[in-house]
Amino acid sequence: MRARKKKTGSEATKVISPKTAVPPGQVSLVVLNGEDAGAEHFVRGLKCVLGRDSEQVDITVKSKGVSRRHASLSWQKNRIILEDLGSTNGTFLNDERISDPVEVRHGDRIKLGDLVLQVIKVDQPQDTPVYELRE
């Protein structure tokens, strides 16, 4: 991570930002549990498919209960939309199963099978760490 100074009043404070340079408005997903805990996946393009089949998806995740083409994230009118793609075990946003496309926000948690990912919107202020890794 890179630190930059942010002025607040008369004193400067450090703000932690992601170490990988990504244009403002971009999104990454941080794996919170399992063998890939701590891995970060960047959502690139207008639509990004998540699943376990590396030939059919943009972000490949290794986890029990994840379908070949499990879910997608897409940009629609400057919002990030999560959609289940007919997965066997469902897609959850903040512990609630989704049946229709739903907007995701910075800090939200997405669950695919037993894998938990946290949404990190890079242009959001991150004065304190948002995610905590689970073992």
Continuous segment of H or E residues that includes residue 14: strand 11-17
For the full predicted model, state whether its pTM sits above 0.75: no
How many Cβ atoms from other residues are within 10 Å of residue 37's Cβ? 15
Q: Which of 132, 112, 122, 131 is nearest to 60 (CA)?
A: 112
pLDDT at 122: 61
Euclidean distance between CA atoms 114 and 64, whole angstroms: 6
pLDDT at 132: 52
Euclidean distance between CA atoms 11 and 82, whole angstroms: 40
Q: What angle do CA 66, 28, 108 make, to 5 degrees?
A: 70
pLDDT at 127: 45
pLDDT at 44: 82
Residue holding tokens 């399992």? 34
The two three-digit tokens of residue 72, written as one number: 């997608």
Residues of the chain with pLDDT below 50 are 1-8, 10-24, 124-130
